[in-house]
Structure 1
Amino acid sequence: MSIMKRKKFTIKEWIPAERPREKMLLFGADALSNAELLAIFIGSGTPKESAVGLAQRILDGYDGNLELLSQVPAHALYRFHGIGPAKAVTLKAAFELHRRKGLPVQEDYSLFVLNGSGDCVRLFWEYHGDRSDRESWFLLANSNRRFLGLVQLSSYVDTPDDLDLGDLLYTIQDHCASKLVFIQKGDFTDPVPSASDIALYEELKATAELLGLDLMDFLMVSETSHCSFADLDLVPILPYR
C-alpha cells in the first residue's frame, strides 16, 4: 500500500485572492491576518514553509503579542529558521515606522540651542518614543549649547558604581561634544532626587570635569513628569546661560 504525500503549495501557487499581496490589493489591509501582513515584509519562506507559515511561527513564539515582538532586537529573530539579518532588519524597520507614526513630525534640530530643561525634555521625547522603562542617556551639545544628539548608555545607571567611563569616553569621541545633560528615564510617579541620585550627579560631574566637559543638568524623566537638578538649583552655576 503506497502512501501519498500531500504536496505543499508555495504562495505563488495559491489562488490570487489568498496570496497576501494580491489579497490586500483586492480587499484592503483590514482583510489580512497579522501573519499575512508580516509575510509581506518577510517576502519568502523556506523550501518547506511558506512566508505566511513562517510569520505565524514567529507570532506564536511571542504568544501572538505584536507589542512584545516589536520590542525584541533583530538578532533575537534569527532563532526562527528562515529569518536572517535582512528579513529581521526589514521587520524591525516596519515596527519602527509604526512607532514613529504617533510622534510629531521631527524638525531639523541641528541648529537648536538648549535654553532650559524643558528643551532637553522635549528633544528627549521627540527622539526617544516608547521603549523600555529604565534607561540612561546623554544629551549632547557643543560649547554654544547647540544640540548634537542623544546617546543611550549600555546599561541603566542608578548609582556611581554603575557608571561606565568607557560609555562617556565613547560618547565624547564620537560626537565631539563639550556639554552634556544626563537623563535618567524611569517609572517615576513624582521624581524627587534621592541621596543616591545626588551622589551619582556629583560622580558624573567630577568625571566630566576630568575630561574637560560641562555637565549642564541631571534630568529624571518619566512619561508623566520630570525633575531637573538645574531647576532645583542643585547645579552650582546657571547651566543654560
Structure 2
Amino acid sequence: MANYSLPEELNFRIQDLPPADQPRERLQQFGVRQLSDSELLAVLLGSGIPGLSALQVSRQLLTSAHRDLHLMARFSLQDFRRQPGIGQVGAMRLVAAFELARRRDAAQMRKGAKITNSEDAFHYLRPVLADLNHEEFHILCLNRANKLLGAHLVSRGGTTGTVADAKTIFRMALGHGSITSLVLAHNHPSGQAFPSEADVRLTRKLCLAAKSLDLHILDHVIIAGRDYYSFADNDGLPE
C-alpha cells in the first residue's frame, strides 16, 4: 500500500494526488483489499466539498467514530449528515453499504441454520440486533434437531427497554407445529453485555410458562454490539 501525506493547502483535492495514490485509481490498479478504511469510504462518498476532499472527509468521519467501523455501522442517515462534507447522497450511500454488509451476514446464517449453543444464536442474531439504537425482543423457534423453524420480532421499544408479552411470544412459537424449543433474545443498545433485574425476572417468567406448554427455552441471549451475554452459559436459566 502506498504511503503518502496529504498536502496542507485548504483547497486540496484528491485529483491533486498522483494518479497511483487516488483511491479509485488504486482500487482499479491494486484491488479493493489494498485500500485503507478511509480510502474505501472516499470511494463510497465519491466527492468532497470545496476545501475538503473525499479522502479528508472520510478521515474526519473515521475519527468521529473513533476509527471503529462497528460503531460507524450504528450511524443513522442523520448522523452521517451531521459530519462535515457529507451530503444527503453520500449519507445514503454509507447507510446502504452497511446495510448490505448486515444482510450478507444474515443470509449466510439463514441457509439451513442450526442453533445448538449461544455462539450459534449470537452469529445468527448479530446482523439483526447488534447495530440498533433501540431495543428489540426476538425469538428463534427450533425443532427437535435444533433446526431453525422461524425467527420472529416480538416487540420494538426505546433505548432503555421493550415489552416482551408472554402471550404474544408463545402464540408466535406455537404457530410452528413441530416446535420443541426456543431461544429468547434482545439487544442492549448501551453495549452493556449483562442482564438487568428486569431481564432476569422476564426470563424466569417465560421459562415457567414454557414448561406448562411442553416447550423448552434453550437460552436467553443479550446482544450488545460485538459482545453478548448468555443465560445458559453463565448461571443457567432460572428455574
Same fold (TM over 0.5): yes
Counterpart AA for 1:227: A
The change in CA–CA distance for 1:89 and 1:224 in structure 2 (over 3 A counts) is same
Per the alignment, residue 69 of structure 2 pairs with 66
The change in CA–CA distance for 1:97 and 1:233 in structure 2 (over 3 A counts) is same
Per the alignment, residue 47 of structure 2 pairs with 44
Per the alignment, residue 130 of structure 2 pairs with 131
The SS at the match of 1:227 is coil
Q: CA RMSD in A?
A: 5.2
Whether 1:105 and 2:80 are equivalent positions in the alignment is: no
Whether 1:227 and 2:232 are equivalent positions in the alignment is: yes
CA shift, 1:16, in A, is 2.1
Per the alignment, residue 163 of structure 2 pairs with 164
Per the alignment, residue 149 of structure 2 pairs with 147
Counterpart AA for 1:187: A
Q: How does 1:1-241 map to 2 (within 5 A)?
A: 8=11, 10-12=13-15, 14-29=17-32, 32-95=35-98, 105-108=108-111, 118=116, 122-123=120-121, 125-129=123-127, 131=130, 136-139=136-139, 147-151=149-153, 153-155=156-158, 163-164=162-163, 178=175, 182-184=184-186, 187-188=193-194, 197=199, 199-201=201-203, 217=217, 219-221=219-221, 223=228, 225-227=230-232, 234=239
* CA displacement 1:132-164 (0-9 Å, x = unmatched): 79965222659xx9734343632477xxxx553
The SS at the match of 2:137 is strand
Counterpart AA for 1:126: Y
CA shift, 1:59, in A, is 1.9
Query: Identity of paired residues, percent?
Result: 27
The change in CA–CA distance for 1:132 and 1:156 in structure 2 (over 3 A counts) is same
Counterpart AA for 2:221: V
Structure 1 residues without counterparts, runs of 5 or longer = 1-5, 208-212, 235-241
The change in CA–CA distance for 1:135 and 1:122 in structure 2 (over 3 A counts) is farther
For 1:227 and 1:37, the matched residues in 2 are separated by 40
CA shift, 1:68, in A, is 3.0
CA shift, 1:105, in A, is 2.7
Counterpart AA for 2:219: L
1:181 and 1:215 in contact (8 A); partners too: no
1:10 and 1:50 in contact (8 A); partners too: yes
Q: State how many pairs are aligned.
A: 207
For 2:36 and 2:197, the matched residues in 1 are separated by 51
Per the alignment, residue 239 of structure 1 pairs with none
Structure showing greater radius of gyration is 1
For 2:119 and 2:130, the matched residues in 1 are separated by 16
For 1:155 and 1:176, the matched residues in 2 are separated by 24
1:220 and 1:226 in contact (8 A); partners too: yes
2:139 and 2:183 in contact (8 A); partners too: yes
CA shift, 1:22, in A, is 0.6
For 1:63 and 1:105, the matched residues in 2 are separated by 29
1:20 and 1:39 in contact (8 A); partners too: yes
Structure 2 residues without counterparts, runs of 5 or longer = 1-8, 177-181, 223-227
